[in-house]
Chain A
Amino acid sequence: DVKVTQSSRYLVKRTGEKVFLECVQDMDHENMFWYRQDPGLGLRLIYFSYDVKMKEKGDIPEGYSVSREKKERFSLILESASTNQTSMYLCASSSMDGQKASTDTQYFGPGTRLTVL
């Protein structure tokens, strides 16, 4: 089974702090994604990466950065946390083979609920 893990389930930080959210997958997937989930808005893509050291902006990258130094690990960084970044953060991974429908599926971690005070 695909396993995607996230470093924390719950996190409370202060405004202005630097925050690191870690995501690790064990299926040798090329693609990794960071989303945030807010009520009524669904999931919105922050950043994604399709290879080590590669990153692409998603729909809402402002206030975030990412790092992918190893294939299995994708980190989301909030350089200076703000209260409007209080949200649920979900990491996902998928393989690169677009020929098979099943391999296009994104597999998600359990999520990190971040509160910024």
Chain B
Amino acid sequence: AQKITQTQPGMFVQEKEAVTLDCTYDTSDQSYGLFWYKQPSSGEMIFLIYQGSYDEQNATEGRYSLNFQKARKSANLVISASQLGDSAMYFCAMREGLSNDYKLSFGAGTTVTVRA
């Protein structure tokens, strides 16, 4: 079964508007971490934001915020005030448990195109 599901293959957003990228996850662990990465056309994966399963507050990093709904097992990324430079592919990822392997499971990604 897929551990991370991103149901939106592609999205268009108008410059200066907010956009929400969906991510649902599947785990039986109580302790886990959720990550969002951005991949511009250059190819490099850029870390954006992290949410731990025990964190009570939703994570925020500048224009990025994570809408964490534990009971629904969702961790949606919200980008506020979109900029042309936000056009990229976005990946949701999860690290399960406290094992030493530190593996991440990734979703299929969502391509965001910001229109001027």
Chain A interface residues toward B at CB < 8 A: 9, 31, 33, 35, 40-45, 48, 50, 56, 58, 88, 90, 92, 94, 96, 98, 101-102, 104-111, 113
Contacts and interface: CB of A to CB of B under 8 A. Distances in A.
B101 A92 contact: no
Contacts, number: 70
B33 A111 contact: no
Contacts of A98: 98, 100, 102
Contact of B52 (A48, A101, A107): A101
A111 B101 contact: no
7 contacts: A9-B43, A43-B45, A104-B50, A104-B95, A106-B104, A109-B44, A110-B42
Nearest to B44: A110
Interface size range of chain B in the complex: 20 to 34
A105 B35 contact: yes
B45 A90 contact: yes
Given A43-B104, A104-B95, A105-B50, 18 more contacts: A31-B102, A40-B9, A42-B4, A42-B108, A44-B106, A45-B103, A48-B102, A56-B101, A90-B45, A98-B100, A98-B102, A104-B50, A104-B102, A105-B35, A106-B35, A106-B102, A108-B45, A111-B44
Interface string B46-71: 11001010010000000000000000
